[in-house]
Amino acid sequence: MEPLAVGHLFPDYLNIYADRGNIAVLSARAEWRGYRLEVQPLGAGAEISHGEHDLFYIGGGQDREQALIAPELASLGPALCEAFEAGAAFLAVCGGYQLLGRYYRDQSGEELPGIGLLPLHTVAGSRRMIGDVLLECELEPGARRTLAGFENHAGQTILDPGAEPLGRVVSGFGNDGKSGYEGCRRGRAIGTYLHGPLLPRNPWLADWLLAQAVAHRTGDLPVFEPLRDELEQEAHAVSARRAETRGGRN
């Protein structure tokens, strides 16, 4: 099997709502497609060599965990941004999403440093935005898909003018509860508030990330044959129905 190297950032701190399950999905779908996922935990003091990783993943955590790892993550920022510029893919969820921006300002007014890979910043809000979410996304021209997941955050994420959101909110709160958009996409990097974990109920996104990782490794974007995803599609449908019962965008 062909190897794909994944850097899992701070897995011992950022794993709220079973976000670690995203790695399990990527590993399984990679194996079904003839690739072997080699996952390397990256924590404090880690070294990131040029071109070593095809994909980076960072999960979610609460303010306490974010505060603990933010300085260490910031120290890895230059190497992570260099890896992105060289074509590595990224998936960042909730707290990890916030820290891939420039900063997160918490309830006390303290600013936790981000790495500035995504064009955004986040400030703590006064209300908690929680519940099932449904998005419309178009990561490839003409290929409109839906993403279903679960959000639970007080942070309000503000994208820079001209920045590309991950998707349009059909139901749920999204980045800030008012813009109508959720997440951020920059090239092969995706940030989102969707937990649950995200990838088991959205296998098309897992395959998109794997394809980007393969393209980094080989220089060519693969065309994957469809897999039998009946259970995954049912999980997506159940999650989407729950979101739709919320009666549209909040």
Sequence-distant (6+) residues with CB within 8 A of 218 are none
Is 195 part of the annotated catalytic residue set?
yes
The CA distance from 136 to 39, in Å, is: 30
Question: Which residue among 8, 53, 121, 195 is the active-site one?
Answer: 195
Nearest Cα neighbor of 203 from 44, 73, 33 is 33
- The pair of structure tokens assigned to 3 is 């190897």
Nearest Cα neighbor of 22 from 223, 190, 157 is 190
Question: Which residue among 94, 121, 153, 216 is the active-site one?
Answer: 94
**DSSP H or E stretch at residue 243:** helix 230-244
| CB of 232 closer than 8 Å to CB of 159 | no
The catalytic residues are 94, 195
